A = this chain, B = another copy of it.
Amino acid sequence: MLPFKKAARKNPKDNTLIEIATAKGKTIIGAGYCTIIAGPCAVESRDSYIETARFLQATGIHILRGGLFKPRTSPYSFKGLRELGIDIIKEARQITGLPVATEIMDVRDIDLLYENTDILQVGSRNMQNFSLLEELGKLDKPILLKRGLSATIEEWLLAAEYILDGGNEKVILCERGIRTFEPYTRNTVDIGAVPLIKHLSHLPIIVDPSHATGKWHMVTPIAKAAIAAGADGIMVEVHQDPDRALSDGKQSLTPENFSKLFKQITAMANLEGKILL
């Protein structure tokens, strides 16, 4: 018997479908849909964020990334605009009609982010921050749960179980690369996690090829591989000017390269019989 209960797949047709109501309709994740989440690693300024958001909406994405609180390895790095960026996110939602996903790092920020965003993201460093997971289990908003840097599939599903057990059934898993011995890439994408999660659980799973590789030229091949392996979507970093990004520039796509990726993902989703709203 598996140690996870509510996260476990019951039968072949048991696939969680998550709906997010938006100003212009709805966004769907899981159960045969292919969802594309994109945006800069962090919200850096009003103008650049709105410009990127408009471009991404025009390209056809489904959900905007919008990092305000950034977990940084060093206390001396840029930690995001934090509370100051909330108004930028609100404006971007209004202009584009797209839902926004943003990272939550602290139980004390839940009210602020709950009010102003559509998906709360738990970063890999907080995957086993059980106090946070328990609070998120009490909400009725989708939680994007990134896999911990060295979390096993079992530990990851048990982290999801904390949220599900609290009463929140809207959990989206996100493979973002694991830590291995390989020094060339930032992390190693565990592509096998996709069919494995599909085998073990009914929860949707997406892949973040940007954090997983740390190299922009690997993002498109890995994004395609993710869809080919059965993922329900991808999350990609896009920046107007990657060389000047305050964080993660090396792994961000330019708008031009993102447009190319979008076309290829559309073709791949069609081959796989996935619905791209």
Measured CB to CB, the residues of A under 8 A from B are: 3-5, 71-76, 105-108, 125-126, 128-131, 149-150, 152-155, 158, 161-162, 165, 178-185, 188-192, 194-196, 199, 212-213, 217-218, 221-222, 224-230, 267-268, 271
In the complex, the answer to whether A228 meets B227 with C-beta atoms within 8 Å is: yes
The one of B155, B194, B225 in contact with A229, judged by C-beta atoms closer than 8 angstroms, is B225
The answer to whether B131 and A228 have CB atoms under 8 Å apart is no
Q: How far does the alpha carbon of A195 sit from the alpha carbon of B267 in the complex, in Å?
A: 19
Closest to A214 in B: B192
Bound complex: CA of A125 vs CA of B155, how far in Å? 12
Min CB distance A146 to B, Å, is: 13
Give 23 A-B contacts (CB < 8 Å), ordered by A residue.
A3-B74, A3-B76, A4-B74, A71-B130, A73-B128, A73-B154, A74-B161, A75-B161, A75-B165, A105-B130, A106-B107, A106-B131, A125-B129, A150-B150, A152-B181, A152-B184, A153-B182, A154-B184, A178-B181, A185-B196, A192-B213, A199-B217, A225-B226
With A106-B107, A108-B131, A192-B213 already in contact, 11 other A-B pairs whose C-beta atoms are closer than 8 Å = A71-B130, A125-B130, A126-B129, A149-B150, A180-B188, A183-B183, A188-B190, A189-B190, A199-B217, A225-B225, A228-B228
Closest-by-CB residue of B relative to A155 is: B73
Q: Shortest Cβ distance from A192 into chain B, in angstroms?
A: 5
Task: State how many copies of this chain the complex holds.
Answer: 4
Knowing A150-B179, A189-B192, A224-B229 are in contact, say whether A107-B105 is a contact too (CB < 8 A): no
- Chain B residues with CB below 8 A from A230, complex form: 221
A179 to B155, CA, bound (A): 13
Closest to A74 in B: B158
* Min C-beta distance of A233 to chain B, whole Å: 15
Q: Are B108 and A73 in contact (CB under 8 A)?
A: no
